[in-house]
A and B are shown apart, each in its own frame.
Chain A
């Protein structure tokens, strides 16, 4: 039997003060494209990522997205269905995504047939023929999907926010449904030639390849070029102000409020991570506590640090009941000012510190998570040293530093406020 104990008393807790990071092995193709290999000792699961310097900022119209969507849609000698059947033969899966800066293609499979699967997909991607009939179909699908998304106040608010934030740069350009109509196969072919075949930034491989497998993959990817010249980067000049998007039949209003900030290369980034968590990035955050758990205005509210290759931004995002809009904006501003004008109580700071320590530990748990940490840092020219500094900053950040950082970077007067609904 257990001795009597007091249920109101919390068990003692300890938090990690150190996290072990595992460096992937680095190889390089003849063209200078790095291949990073992370070992997955306890599983047969393999993930193979290709990352291209080929995001949507490189074109005026939705060409990057369509090109990416059609990378595995047919070659001169294989149809879309044939390619998918072959991928199925190896038990493989793949998906792709496009950001403003990069195109990502991920291939999933098991160790036993990974090399054959990669070989197949390398060939298909390299020789992508962009069949006219597939292009026509994909344009129709993408156009309709965009129309559906434009019915959502969250999408409307987010798009207007990005338009204002990145005005006058490719980052602020949003696709409209009609943009898809005029796109031709030649435009995709040109984008493919220049940015996909010629823009392989790096390869990530989580699995258990043999030295022979690695040599073979390096050989077949030797025909993919890497851009060596640093791309021109955009300079942003957002102005603050209020912006409304009308959607009369909506029962909720989408809110996006934020400003240009910086990305993880900036010295204040680590402190800002802690400030942002306090404000809106965990369930007990000030925004959640106030707007959801105290007032019931919304199902959820959060704040985020977004980033792109050269810069970054801060944004608060939520959808609130229409009747609550006016006070929701008052409360959001109140929470920003409270962080800037009052010192955060030590107890709250300690809680957030511990919460983030747990998140750091979880974010480094297992080979897939470890590779992701490495990859995101590497794209910005950083390494695991970045996470070590993040951990050190978290362990020693003070109440004064929190207030100072919030004061400097979270002035609501400097923010763009978008409402859609």
Chain B
């Protein structure tokens, strides 16, 4: 059980405090309810570029990182399709430094032209390093628009193309800040060895006078139910041909999310799962094969991906893969397998809970989902899942008309089809 204490400021800021008396460190985690899905289709990659600008100084403090480092701390952030999350880890006695810095950049940014110019260039290099200059790096730039025709999940957080980042202007930066960076669109989580009233007092001091605004409404286009098998074949200069089968799955808040998650654990089990056993160990079709979910807030993707053994064909793979999926639709997994999944999940949870930062981030995320208390209910949800539930999920999900399939053929491969 993770215990926490929640309070709200009059300007709309939600605050979660998690006490841990065993650590000398403290965490300040700030989740902003804005991600790449909230971007204009003509200005993609903006939420992520903006995250970089948040480190370029705020209204009253020219430099974000320096003062935090001087307090023995460090900071980082990430942007997903759904959220933008900032965190600071520092010795507990200096917690006020983090609250000072975070509250000031929630109040107002420095909006420096130099910072915008440099971070545009940094993000373009990030685009090149992670998406262009790596084998298979552009897969998600291709697969997302195949799977999503109207929902903004059709672009990656880095953006659709480099020109969108090149064209970002200071006016857009200011508008984005005004719309999304204010108390009612944020969840602040503080974790460490403190008394609750001490935290309340400090948060009130630093955040209390930040003007409140209404939470921006989110009206995203709803992705219509897929009813066609979508395929895309590309040729790339990569060493091994690769395949990606992306099935639509339920949104984060629904029961179906948990079913798909557990099903991916079962199907994708390394070395003893059916995909690994049949496609890799027995048929020698694939060098590697994995099953995983993207964990999105809105309707997400259940992905099966891997790489072909040189000389093997996509046709052989496709036939064998669907056979395995049909097996899961026809056969409920054994009670023994279900027990194994639960035991593994229990161990994984024990390790996740070791980290203070992990706990702080998860509390923020569950609060965004509706209630931080949800973090303590997950185990019971997973344990209540039965074999027939998983079978039902497989039946619904694993149909060709719910699938977007991408093949990357290795250019040099003599067996390229």
Interface residue ranges, A against B (CB under 8 Å): 2, 5, 7-8, 10-11, 13-16, 42-45, 80-81, 83-85, 88-93, 108-110, 137, 140-141, 144-145, 147-148, 150-153, 249-252, 282-284, 292-299, 319-321, 350-352, 354-355, 357-359, 361-362, 365-366, 368
Q: CA separation between A148 and B288, bound complex, in Å?
A: 13
B415 at the interface (CB under 8 A from A): no
Q: Whole-angstrom distance from the CB of A144 to the nearest CB of chain B?
A: 5
Interface stretch of the complex, out of B40-48, B78-86, B237-245, B393-401? B237-245
Interface residue ranges, B against A (CB under 8 Å): 22-25, 59-61, 65-67, 69-75, 89-91, 93-94, 96-97, 100, 104, 107, 117-126, 128-130, 132-136, 204-205, 208, 237-240, 269-272, 277, 280-281, 284, 287-288, 307, 309-310, 340, 343-344, 346-348, 350-351, 353-354
- In the complex where A80-B271, A148-B240, A283-B65 touch, is A13 in contact with B128 (Cβ < 8 A)? no
Q: Is the CB of A45 within 8 A of B347?
A: yes
- In the complex where A10-B100, A13-B94, A299-B125 touch, is A361 in contact with B72 (Cβ < 8 A)? yes
Q: CA separation between A211 and B318, bound complex, in Å?
A: 54
Q: Is the CB of A296 within 8 A of B133?
A: no
Q: A13, A81, A293: which contacts B97 (Cβ < 8 A)?
A: A13
- In the complex where A299-B122, A351-B70, A354-B69 touch, is A252 in contact with B91 (Cβ < 8 A)? no
The 7 nearest A-B residue pairs measured at CB: A358-B72, A296-B121, A91-B343, A147-B239, A84-B272, A7-B60, A88-B340
Closest to A10 in B: B67
Q: B23, B91, B310: which contacts A366 (Cβ < 8 A)?
A: B23
Residues on B with beta carbons closer than 8 Å to the beta carbon of A93: 344, 347-348
Pull 18 A–B residue pairs with CB atoms less than 8 Å apart, ordered by A. A7-B61, A10-B67, A16-B24, A80-B272, A84-B269, A89-B340, A93-B348, A108-B351, A147-B239, A147-B240, A151-B135, A250-B133, A296-B118, A350-B70, A355-B72, A361-B25, A361-B72, A361-B91
Residues on A with beta carbons closer than 8 Å to the beta carbon of B348: 93
Q: B65, B133, B271: which contacts A284 (Cβ < 8 A)?
A: B65
- In the complex where A148-B238, A354-B70 touch, is A92 in contact with B347 (Cβ < 8 A)? yes
Q: Is the CB of B128 within 8 A of A358?
A: no
Most buried by A among B67, B126, B269, B272: B272
Q: B65, B97, B135, B309: which contacts A152 (Cβ < 8 A)?
A: B135
Q: CA separation between A285 and B24, bound complex, in Å?
A: 25
- In the complex where A44-B350, A144-B310, A362-B89 touch, is A299 in contact with B129 (Cβ < 8 A)? yes
- In the complex where A91-B344, A144-B239, A147-B239 touch, is A355 in contact with B70 (Cβ < 8 A)? yes
Q: Is the CB of B60 within 8 A of A137?
A: no
Residues on A with beta carbons closer than 8 Å to the beta carbon of B271: 80-81, 83-84
Q: Is the CB of B104 within 8 A of A7?
A: yes
Q: CA separation between A12 and B98, bound complex, in Å?
A: 12
What total of A-B pairs shows CB separation below 8 Å? 203
Q: CA separation between A305 and B75, bound complex, in Å?
A: 22
Q: A45, A141, A153, A366: which contacts B350 (Cβ < 8 A)?
A: A45
Closest to B346 in A: A91
Q: CA separation between A88 and B307, bound complex, in Å?
A: 25
Given A16-B72, A358-B71, 18 new contacts (CB under 8 A):
A7-B104, A8-B60, A10-B100, A13-B93, A13-B97, A14-B93, A15-B71, A83-B271, A88-B344, A91-B347, A148-B135, A152-B133, A252-B128, A283-B69, A284-B65, A320-B125, A354-B72, A355-B72
Q: Is the CB of A2 within 8 A of B90?
A: no
Q: Is the CB of B125 within 8 A of A45?
A: no
Residues on A with beta carbons closer than 8 Å to the beta carbon of B94: 11, 13-15
Q: Whole-angstrom distance from the CB of B97 to the nearest CB of chain A?
A: 5
Q: CA separation between A88 and B276, bound complex, in Å?
A: 15
Residues on A with beta carbons closer than 8 Å to the beta carbon of B128: 251-252, 321
Q: CA separation between A202 and B117, bound complex, in Å?
A: 52
Q: A109, A147, A283, A365: which contacts B347 (Cβ < 8 A)?
A: A109
Closest to B117 in A: A296
Residues on A with beta carbons closer than 8 Å to the beta carbon of B343: 88-91
Most buried by A among B69, B89, B117, B281: B69
Residues on A with beta carbons closer than 8 Å to the beta carbon of B23: 365-366
Q: Is the CB of B97 within 8 A of A296?
A: no
Q: CA separation between A357 and B70, bound complex, in Å?
A: 10
Q: Is the CB of A141 within 8 A of B288?
A: yes
Q: Whole-angstrom distance from the CB of B139 to the nearest CB of chain A?
A: 13
Q: Is the CB of B72 within 8 A of A110?
A: no
Q: B71, B124, B284, B354: which contacts A13 (Cβ < 8 A)?
A: B71
Closest to A320 in B: B125
